[in-house]
């Protein structure tokens, strides 16, 4: 599989695998199906797995640890700290970036994952009450001790990225980026490129919306957290379906799926971008990987810019309380 480099030297597959949904965030969890998906991804050349201690309150890290126990040398593991829980209701606050917590969180993740070293360790959200210099300083100590290889941030502002990078090189910035979430293009992505920081788009398929599989609100399981997402609510839902219809039209003309079109578009935004589409099913994994063979022409890219410019999606990315936790 094609590879790309994040930061100073973390080489990973051009597409990673987001594992959050394997722990009940988007409906019921199925550990066997999740394990099969991870194994198939690795066998097909995916070398970048994304998790966090908050996904399923540690369940996701434990799941991944078991799945890669006999193939650790074939994957780079990215995990995160700082959020209490990401489950059916979304995010539990407050965020914790205190140095002593950084260390204890890392030790717990290492134990759950069953590994000696975390390849990429992100601060999941910026703690507004702890100077970023203190948090990154604590993370840098973990690098010195060999417990972590590379450092990352998630949903941080351009100013915070600069401050963090001045303390220790940041290899990757992870934020939402997709055809319907392009706000990072204004300031955050240019800052990352100035500092040679890789960019890892999470939710490259708009939380599944861009796949065309979600047709009605009732398509979401009762315990699916997207039921509280503004973009899936009321009139926003209908307007966003109209956008997806145009993506579907382009995909049909390209002889690919909407998901492949959306991922291919991201991949063509730069070689420093490594999307991590999430799935818990092998069939969707195979569909996502098919995006590597889709090449969009300049005319197609221009059309996408016309129908899906910055701000095209209706509704905020998160409920109001959660929007306060991004771009800090």
CA distance 175 to 203: 9
Active site annotation includes 55 = yes
Choosing from 55, 177, 284, 318, the catalytic residue is 55
C-alpha to C-alpha distances, 242 to 119, 215, 246, 316, nearest whole angstrom:
40, 11, 7, 17
CA distance 179 to 263: 9
Q: Which residues pair with 79 in a beta bridge?
A: 121
CA distance 60 to 62: 5
Burial of 126-135, coded b for 16+ CB within 10 Å and e otherwise, reads bbeebebeeb
Would you please indicate which residues are annotated as catalytic (active-site) residues?
A: 55
């Amino acid at each position: 599989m094609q590879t790309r480099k994040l930061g100073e030297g973390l080489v990973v597959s051009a597409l990673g695998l987001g594992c959050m949904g394997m722990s009940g965030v988007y409906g019921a969890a199925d550990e066997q199906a999740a394990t099969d998906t991870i194994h198939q991804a690795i066998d097909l050349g995916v070398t970048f797995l994304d998790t966090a201690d908050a996904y399923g309150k540690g369940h996701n890290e434990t799941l991944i640890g078991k799945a890669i126990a006999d193939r650790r040398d074939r994957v780079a593991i990215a995990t995160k700290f700082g959020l209490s829980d990401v489950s059916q209701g979304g995010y539990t606050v407050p965020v914790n970036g205190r140095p002593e917590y950084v260390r204890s969180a890392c030790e717990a993740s290492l134990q759950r994952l069953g590994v000696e070293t975390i390849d990429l360790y992100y601060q999941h959200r910026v703690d507004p009450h702890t100077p970023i210099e203190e948090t990154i300083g604590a993370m840098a100590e973990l690098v010195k001790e060999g417990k972590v290889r590379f450092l990352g941030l998630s949903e941080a502002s351009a100013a915070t990225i600069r401050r963090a990078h001045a303390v220790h090189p940041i290899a990757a910035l992870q934020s939402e980026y997709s055809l319907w979430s392009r706000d990072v293009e204004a300031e955050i992505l240019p800052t990352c490129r100035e500092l040679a920081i890789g960019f890892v788009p999470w939710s490259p398929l708009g939380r599944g919306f861009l796949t065309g599989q979600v047709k009605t609100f009732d398509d979401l399981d009762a315990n699916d957290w997207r039921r509280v997402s503004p973009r899936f609510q009321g009139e926003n839902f209908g307007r966003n379906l109209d956008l997806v219809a145009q993506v579907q039209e382009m995909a049909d003309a390209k002889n690919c799926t909407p998901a492949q079109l959306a991922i291919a578009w991201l991949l063509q935004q730069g070689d420093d971008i490594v999307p991590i589409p999430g799935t818990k099913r092998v069939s969707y994994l195979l569909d996502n990987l098919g995006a590597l063979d889709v090449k969009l022409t300049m005319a197609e890219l221009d059309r996408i810019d016309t129908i899906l410019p910055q701000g095209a999606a209706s509704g905020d990315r998160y409920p109001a309380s959660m929007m306060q936790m991004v771009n800090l």
